[in-house]
């Protein structure tokens, strides 16, 4: 995510963490000045995070902490629905099987499958997926499904957005072969696809600190030099910027190029500010420079890669000598992502110098993000006024190759600069100025210095400017991986005629005998005379402990002569065997003579020696596991993410690790077969270690159910957490409808902590039972294909054998009205639509192996698979004459089984799960249909998310479902909790809280029943978390589901479904404080005294199939004062629950008949207090006219009789209630329930 590199105060950090990444970065710094409403990021607030992957598959994340559950729902076009889930704490990666070769080939950006990062950037819950597609030529071909396209010539790329409903179509066009094919190439003309990730925005004393006044005195103030600022825009009305802006362009999603955030104005004035509003005191570094303004971040301080890329292209091609970029990504970068690559390409093409913030994710090492990670970037760290490194400043070395970054440092702590009108960024010190800290503030100091240097040397290009600034910088004590070459020094840079390149020795891993290595340092002479320089060097251990031998760093010469206008090289040799301590080393090569002083920086990362760990994996038949296997290696003393080992064709995986305690676990694979395994403890010393996972000793994973059932989804997980680790790590495969066999390899017990498997099954009543009517009816062991058609009842169909479904075979056989039998081949999925077109009444796919064959394909007729042996018997029977098959088809499952079993003390020898039927809970579920015709809601999935209290892991598996139905769901209750998640194929969702069920007990649940409306769940979350509006001493946080079941148990967990139109307003004492586009908001800066507040929510659902509760208006009025202490307190909102009797499964009531409606009232914490008043009004014409219904009231409820007149299409409701505490609710629900016609 790109951000302004702005260091917020403690209050701001707390608020930013609370309100999410889309909020302005500096909201908390001035939070007490005035009440302010900020939209909570749905990514951090929703109870459900639904992420639509580029493949069209859906990932759902529910819960938090130890009870977080990750579910995978394959796209309807996915043949097998297999996906891999890797999880370490809240870090989640989900990789569908079909994309693995593309990721290995580098054709897809791994961030497209980084679920926690996608959620953090707001790319969930109905959001479009932004992409950057790189072509093999400048004319990038984009497949169907792409939205508006913006071409980016710097990378031969195009930026686009793909709506959630179009991802499957887009993906099908993006693949070079049919969906599901194993290929490492994308469609013709497409080279790579990146996520269009988000970026966000990250003086008098400081200007003097770097020597700017001395440059001004010498007549150098940047005059004639164009500097581009890519940020949140600028306030051109500010006196300090008057007349300085040559051009301003808006590349963001904001309305204009004006700075409504404050960050860009602060940065711009640090470069070119005149100081007019302060009598010249707060003058910028280069007040004579001219400004190009590219607004690439919106008014919340957030932007995307493509916005920034567009601004970079414009700036570099508009004559800017220097581009200042106080923005970047939170994630460490290796310098190969789109922004970093563009910096390098544009620098090489135009000679423009990009000065970029290092970031504010220090003090940890290897934290520099993009685009500051680019080779050509002049990457800026932050120091304070005493030249001490700022704790927040991001550190090197660069991720991946340990290259030397940052490059230079500048003042970035408590910087006073111009304040944009109407903004509160930082800590305002007056109407015209504000104070802020961050590498954002350090960067414009260096950009201004570069402008001054460019004025002095107009012929210099980026490399000259960068080299001169670095070579002349004041060397500091923090080390090169923290401060680069040192703090920028403008007078020294102006005096500089010689500059030098740096020497990075990267990482040396090994024993003390590591061989010396040599690099070249090049000295450039810009003067018109040659110069001879004396050379000295030093080397310091920055991190770690130990001594440094004086001969560890040696020079190839004691002097160097650099010709006029030329360059000369000097060999620099590092001897790692003389730098024996493990850690980072930095040093300086200083060149002096003839009035010249220049220095180059050297760096080395010396790592502890490693030893080789080898794993050999065998399948149950003794053959080697294949490269599709997943092997996870984790240090048991480190809570960070694990390493993933690649398995070769010989079944061998290797890793080089430091001595210590490790674990290895994962899944061996061959074709559709899986062996889940793990070695909980591996002690690694000074010698190589070899271990094995012998699948010949593995045991089959099986589940038994009391009634005949068909597997709909199977999830295999294995994980380990040691006593030293704060978070566990797990490796999971969602097998969906995949065939093959599954085993688990028994293991030793862990020496400490937990280790074991977690297995989830979803099974259901068989959708299709197929029996061949031979001499004795033969059960064909049918496995239905998901998303294929259904009919209720029995049919006898004649079998038509079409072989492999070639064109010739299809032409020779009449399948109309028959059961088409086709052999499984690689192209079978392309054959099935032709059989449907030819009029086949059903399709049977014969497997190529003698095992079950599930699958998935959208079709209008039943499609099912059978084992090879059954198909062979049918083929033999057909040689003797006609054969008929009796199909018993169940359109909707009458029962479902959910099973979860977890282990924490090793993988057990017995892998058959056969729970006692007395331990099952029977959940009788009614799922009402919001559409008059339930078939209008297609491709629906019913997720049962099982959580084991033993393994403390869970997963979600999905089964087919339909609206307007009843069914029984049986779940095991021993050491288990369950959560239901319904995902209609047309959008929206509904979820319950994770809960245990009582064994042997039948529970009734009603889902999507009228009356649905906004309310807080009755299963109350703790204040300050989840869906409970709360307040603490600093702010209110409001999170209200817009659609919830009548009793408040089940609710829409995300902020908005696709197509919803919401508006949320907040009032205090009848004064509007602010609005948000949905009821997920934070209200800061509230007065401590008691006030009267009102929340208003207008919600409208526009999907054609959603025909009840189509529009709601709710107003909650209540009193609130600042609570004492830091604890969260539930806000006293009053909610209405609805109990309407006699509703049919199609969400309708009978006309003329009396239907009892009871409206009860409760507070957000579930408590009830006596009512002062309650009323119910009814409309039978969609809310055009209303009449008050006669109500029987109690202290907590009002009951009325609804009697819809003949011809009415629906009943709308308007409810009012007030309790003794003065909390009120007024709620209008248009089309609350349909009236049967």
DSSP secondary-structure letter at 658?
Answer: -
Q: Please report the pLDDT score of residue 470 as a whole number.
A: 96
Which residue carries 């058959």 as its tokens?
912
Contacts of 386 (CB under 8 A, 6+ apart): none
For β-strands 842-846 and 855-856, DSSP reports them as unpaired
Closest CA to 616 of 654, 643, 669: 654
Of residues 580, 755, 583, the one with CA closest to residue 661: 755
Look at residues 507, 535, 501 and name the one whose alpha carbon lies nearest to residue 521.
Answer: 501
Are 982 and 928 in contact by the 8 Å Cβ rule? The answer is: no
| CA distances to 411, 924, 955 from 898, in Å | 60, 14, 11
Q: What pTM value is reported for the model?
A: 0.83
Per-residue pLDDT reduced to its tens digit, 1037-1049: 898 889 999 987 8
Among candidate residues 329, 440, 471, 504, the one labeled active-site is 440
Contact 157, 41 (CB under 8 A): no
CB 734 within 8 Å of CB 779: no
Which CATH number is correct for 200-471, 3.90.1170.40, 3.40.50.300, 3.40.50.200, 3.40.50.10540? 3.40.50.200
Q: What H or E segment, with its residue span, contains residue 809?
A: helix 807-812
Q: What is the DSSP letter of 112?
A: G
Q: Take residue 940 and report the two structure tokens written for it.
A: 């629906």
Give Cβ neighbours of residue 740 (< 8 Å, ≥ 6 apart). Answer: 671, 672, 673, 674, 851
Q: Does this chain's domain 498-509+511-607 share its CATH topology with 1030-1235?
A: yes
Query: How far is Cα 982 from Cα 992, in angstroms, rounded to an integer?
Result: 9
Both tokens assigned to 1147: 């969400």
Report how far residue 150's alpha carbon sits from residue 240's, in angstroms, rounded to the nearest whole number.
Answer: 34
**Cβ–Cβ < 8 Å for 418, 352:** no
Which of 558, 543, 568 lies closest to 590 in space, CA to CA?
Answer: 558
Q: Are strands 302-304 and 198-200 parallel, antiparallel or unpaired?
A: antiparallel
Whole-number Å distance between alpha carbons of 98 and 179? 8
Write out pLDDT tens, residues 1085-1117.
888 899 999 999 999 988 888 899 999 999 999
Say which CATH topology domain 768-889 has.
Answer: Glucose Oxidase; domain 1 (3.50.30)
DSSP assignment of 42-70 equals HHHH-SEEEEE-TTS-EEEEES-GGG-EE
In 3D space, the residue among 1097, 1085, 1232, 773 whose CA is nearest the CA of residue 27 turns out to be 1085
CB within 8 Å of 935: residues ≥ 6 apart: none
Cis geometry, peptide bond prior to residue 782 (ω within 30 degrees of 0): no
Domain 1030-1235, architecture per CATH: Sandwich (2.60)
- Give, in order, the Cα–Cα distances in Å from 220 to each of 290, 732, 1115: 14, 62, 62
Residue 571's beta-bridge partner residues? 520
CA 182 from centre of chain: 25
Q: Could you give phi then psi for residue 239, rounded to 5 degrees?
A: -55, -35
Report which DSSP code applies to 671: T
Task: Answer left, alpha or beta for residue 886, where phi above 0 means left and psi between -120 and 50 means alpha.
Answer: beta
Take residue 468 and report the two structure tokens written for it: 């001169």
CA distance 46 to 167: 22
* C-alpha torsion angle, residues 233, 311, 445, 527 (rounded to 10): -150
Mean pLDDT of successive 10-residue stretches along the chain, which has 1237 residues: 36 22 28 59 61 92 84 78 89 92 92 93 87 89 88 88 90 72 76 90 76 94 97 97 96 94 96 95 96 95 94 97 94 94 97 97 92 97 95 93 94 95 89 94 98 97 96 91 95 93 85 76 93 94 75 93 96 85 88 92 87 97 95 92 93 94 97 95 96 98 94 92 92 82 97 96 93 90 87 94 94 96 89 94 92 80 94 94 95 91 96 92 95 84 89 83 92 94 79 91 94 87 78 87 87 65 92 86 86 96 90 97 85 96 97 97 88 97 97 95 96 98 98 96
**Short-list 945, 1135, 1169, 1114, CA closest to 1028:** 1135
Q: Give phi and psi for 300, each to the nearest 5.
A: -100, 5
Q: Report residue 1165 CA to chain centroid gap.
A: 31
Mention every residue, 6+ apart, whose C-beta is less than 8 A from residue 1119.
1090, 1091, 1092, 1093, 1132, 1221, 1222, 1223
**Reduced DSSP (H G I as helix, E B as strand, rest coil) percent helix, strand, coil of the chain, to 5:** 15, 40, 45
Please report the pLDDT score of residue 47 as a whole number. 65
Per annotation, catalytic residue among 231, 235, 801, 1137: 231
Distance, first Cα to last Cα, the chain: 52
Domain boundaries, the chain: 22-120+122-196, 200-471, 498-509+511-607, 609-764+908-1005, 768-889, 1030-1235
Q: Can 263 be counted among the known catalytic residues? A: yes
Could you give the angle at which helices 338-350 and 305-316 cross, rounded to 10 degrees? 0
The CATH number of 498-509+511-607 is 2.60.40.10
Of 432, 67, 396, nearest to 262 by C-alpha is 432
* Furthest C-alpha separation in the chain: 107
- Spatial neighbors of 1003 by CB under 8 A, at least 6 apart, are 921, 922, 923, 924, 997
Q: Write out the DSSP string of 868-896.
A: HHHHHHHHHHHTTS--EEEEEE-SS-SEE
Is the bond preceding 397 in cis, omega lying within 30 degrees of 0?
A: yes
CA distance 502 to 941: 58
Q: What is the pLDDT of residue 31?
A: 32
- Give me the pLDDT at residue 1166, please: 82
Provide the 10 A C-beta neighbour count for residue 836: 20
Element (H, E) at 993: none
Give bridge partners of residue 381 from the DSSP assignment. Answer: 409
1033 is catalytic: no
Phi, psi of 776 (to 5 degrees): -120, 135
DSSP string for 230-289: EES-B-TTSGGGTTTEEEEEE-SSSSSSB-SSSHHHHHHHHHH---GGGTTTT--S-TTS
Tokens of 1089: 């005294």
DSSP letter assigned to residue 218? T
Residues 91 and 864: their CA atoms lie apart, in Å, by 37
Spatial CB neighbours of 284, under 8 Å, sequence gap ≥ 6? 203, 207, 240, 269, 270, 271, 272, 273, 274, 275, 417, 444, 448
| Alpha carbon distance 340, 197 (integer Å) | 13
263, 266, 445, 1135: the active-site residue:
263
Residue that is written with structure tokens 């800290």 in the block: 437
State yes or no: is 150 an active-site residue.
Answer: no
Convert 1101-1164 into a string of H (helix), E (strand) and C (coil).
Answer: ECCCCCCCCCEEEEEEEEEECCCCCCCCEECCCEEEEEEECCCCCCCEECCCCCEEEEEEEEEC
**pLDDT tens-digit readout, 25-82:** 222 223 334 676 766 654 455 567 889 999 999 998 888 777 889 999 888 777 578 9
- Candidates 1141, 1143, 1194, 1140; CA nearest to 1169 is 1194
Q: How far is CA 515 from CA 548, 575, 1104, 1191, in A?
A: 16, 7, 71, 91
């Amino acid at each position: 995510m790109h951000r302004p590199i702005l260091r917020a105060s403690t209050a701001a950090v707390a608020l930013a963490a609370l309100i999410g990444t889309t909020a302005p970065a500096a909201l908390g710094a001035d939070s007490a000045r005035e009440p302010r409403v900020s939209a909570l990021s749905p990514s951090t607030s929703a109870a459900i995070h639904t992420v639509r992957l580029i493949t069209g598959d859906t990932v759902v994340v529910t819960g938090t902490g130890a009870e977080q559950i990750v579910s995978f729902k394959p796209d309807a076009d996915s043949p097998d629905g297999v996906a891999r889930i890797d999880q370490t704490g809240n870090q989640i990666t989900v990789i569908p099987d079909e994309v693995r070769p593309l990721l290995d080939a580098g054709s897809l950006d791994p961030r497209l499958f980084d679920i926690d990062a996608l959620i953090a950037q707001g790319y969930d819950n109905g959001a479009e997926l932004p992409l950057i597609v790189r072509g093999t030529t400048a004319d990038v071909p984009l497949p169907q499904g792409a939205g508006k396209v913006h071409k980016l010539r710097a990378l031969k790329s195009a930026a686009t957005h793909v709506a959630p409903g179009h991802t499957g179509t887009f993906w099908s066009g993006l693949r070079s072969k049919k969906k599901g094919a194993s290929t490492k190439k994308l469609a013709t003309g497409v080279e790579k696809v990146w996520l269009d990730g988000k970026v966000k925005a990250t003086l008098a004393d400081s200007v003097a600190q770097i020597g700017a006044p001395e440059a001004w005195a010498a007549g150098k103030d940047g005059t004639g030099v164009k500097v581009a600022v890519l940020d949140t825009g600028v306030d051109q009305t500010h006196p300090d910027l008057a007349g300085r802006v040559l051009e301003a362009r808006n590349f963001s999603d904001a309305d204009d190029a004006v700075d409504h955030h404050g960050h860009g104005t602060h940065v711009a004035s640090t470069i070119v500010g005149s100081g007019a509003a302060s009598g010249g005191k707060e003058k910028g570094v280069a007040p004579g420079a001219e400004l190009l303004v590219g607004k690439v971040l919106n008014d919340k301080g957030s932007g995307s890669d493509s916005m920034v890329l567009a601004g970079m292209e414009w700036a570099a091609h508009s004559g800017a000598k220097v581009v200042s970029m106080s923005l970047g990504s939170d994630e460490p970068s290796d310098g190969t992502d789109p922004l970093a690559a563009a910096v390098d390409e544009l620098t090489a093409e135009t000679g423009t110098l990009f000065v970029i913030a290092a970031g504010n994710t220090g003090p940890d090492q290897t934290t520099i993000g993009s685009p500051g990670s680019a080779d050509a970037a002049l990457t800026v760290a932050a120091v304070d006024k005493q030249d001490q490194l700022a704790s927040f400043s991001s550190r090197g070395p660069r991720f991946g190759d340990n290259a030397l970054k940052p490059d230079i440092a500048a003042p970035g702590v408590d910087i006073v600069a111009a304040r944009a009108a109407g903004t509160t960024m930082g800590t305002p010190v007056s109407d015209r100025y504000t104070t802020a800290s961050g590498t954002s503030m350090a960067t414009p100091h260096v950009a201004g210095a570069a402008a001054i240097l460019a004025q002095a040397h107009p012929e210099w290009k980026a490399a000259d400017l960068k080299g001169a600034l670095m070579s002349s910088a004041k060397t500091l004590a923090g080390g090169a991986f923290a401060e680069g070459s040192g703090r920028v020094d403008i007078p020294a840079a102006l005096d500089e005629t010689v500059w030098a390149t740096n020497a990075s020795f990267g990482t040396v891993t090994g024993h003390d005998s590591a061989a010396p290595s040599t690099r070249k340092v090049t000295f450039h002479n810009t003067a018109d005379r040659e110069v001879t320089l004396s050379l000295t060097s030093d080397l310091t251990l920055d991190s770690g402990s130990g001594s440094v031998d004086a001969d560890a760093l040696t020079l190839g010469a004691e002097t160097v002569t650099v010709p006029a206008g030329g360059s000369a090289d000097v060999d620099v040799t590092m001897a790692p065997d003389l730098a024996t301590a493990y850690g980072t080393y930095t040093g300086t090569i200083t060149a002096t003579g003839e009035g010249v002083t220049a220095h180059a920086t050297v760096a080395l990362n010396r790592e502890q020696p490693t030893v080789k760990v080898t794993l050999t994996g065998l399948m149950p038949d003794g053959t080697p596991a294949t490269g599709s296997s997943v092997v996870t290696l984790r240090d048991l003393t480190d809570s960070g993410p694990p390493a993933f080992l690649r398995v070769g064709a010989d079944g061998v995986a290797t890793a080089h690790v430091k001595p210590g305690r490790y674990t290895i676990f994962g899944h061996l694979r061959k074709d559709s077969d899986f062996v889940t395994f793990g070695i909980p403890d591996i002690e690694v010393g000074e010698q190589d270690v070899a271990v094995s996972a012998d699948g010949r000793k593995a045991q089959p994973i099986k589940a038994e159910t009391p009634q005949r059932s068909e597997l709909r989804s199977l999830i295999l997980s294995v994980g380990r957490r040691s006593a030293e680790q704060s978070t566990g790590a797990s490796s999971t495969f969602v097998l969906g409808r995949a065939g093959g066999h599954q085993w688990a390899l028994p293991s030793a017990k862990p020496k400490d902590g937990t280790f074991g498997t977690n297995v989830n099954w979803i099974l259901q009543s068989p959708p299709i039972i197929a029996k061949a009517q031979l001499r004795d009816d033969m059960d064909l062991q049918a496995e239905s294909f998901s998303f294929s058609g259904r009919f209720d009842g029995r049919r006898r169909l004649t079998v038509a054998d079409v072989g492999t479904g070639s064109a010739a075979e299809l032409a020779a056989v009449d399948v109309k009205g028959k059961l088409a039998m086709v052999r499984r081949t690689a192209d079978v999925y392309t054959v099935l639509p032709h059989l449907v077109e030819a009029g086949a009444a059903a399709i049977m796919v014969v497997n190529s192996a003698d095992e079950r064959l599930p699958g998935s394909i959208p079709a209008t007729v039943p499609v099912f698979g059978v084992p090879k042996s059954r198909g062979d018997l049918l083929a033999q029977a057909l040689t003797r004459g006609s054969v008929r098959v009796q199909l018993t088809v169940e359109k909707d499952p009458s029962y479902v089984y959910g099973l979860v079993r977890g282990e924490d003390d090793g993988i057990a020898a017995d892998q058959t799960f056969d729970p006692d039927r007395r331990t099952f809970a029977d959940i009788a579920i009614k799922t009402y249909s919001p559409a008059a015709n339930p078939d209008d809601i297609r491709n629906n999935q019913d997720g049962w998310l099982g959580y084991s209290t033993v393994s403390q892991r869970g997963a979600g598996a999905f089964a087919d479902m339909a609206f307007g139905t009843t069914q029984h769901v049986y779940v095991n209750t021993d050491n288990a909790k369950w959560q239901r998640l319904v995902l209609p194929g047309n959008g929206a969702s509904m979820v319950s809280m994770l809960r245990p069920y009582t064994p042997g007990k039948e529970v009734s649940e009603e889902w999507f029943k009228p009356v649905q409306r906004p309310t807080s769940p009755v299963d109350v979350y703790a204040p300050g978390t989840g869906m409970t509006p709360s307040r603490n001493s600093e702010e209110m946080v409001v999170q209200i589901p817009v659609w919830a079941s009548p009793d408040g148990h089940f609710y829409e967990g995300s902020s908005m479904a696709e197509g919803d139109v919401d508006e949320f307003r907040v009032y205090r004492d009848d004064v509007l404080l602010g609005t948000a586009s949905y009821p997920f908001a934070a209200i800061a800066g509230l007065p401590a005294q008691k006030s009267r507040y009102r929340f208003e929510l207008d919600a409208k659902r526009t999907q054609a199939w959603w025909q009840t509760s189509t529009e709601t208006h709710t107003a909650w009025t209540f009193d609130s004062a600042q609570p004492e202490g830091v604890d969260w307190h539930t806000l006293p909102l009053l909610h209405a629950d609805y109990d309407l009797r006699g509703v049919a499964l199609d969400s309708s009531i009978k006309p003329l008949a009396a239907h009892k409606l009871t409206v009860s009232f409760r507070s957000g914490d579930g408590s009830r207090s006596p009512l002062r008043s309650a009323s119910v009004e009814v409309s039978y014409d969609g809310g055009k006219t209303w009449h008050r219904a006669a109500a029987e009231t109690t202290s907590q409820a009002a009951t009325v009789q609804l009697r819809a007149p003949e011809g009415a299409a629906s009943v709308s409701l308007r409810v009012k209630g007030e309790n003794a505490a003065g909390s009120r609710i007024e709620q209008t629900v248009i089309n609350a329930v349909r009236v049967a016609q």
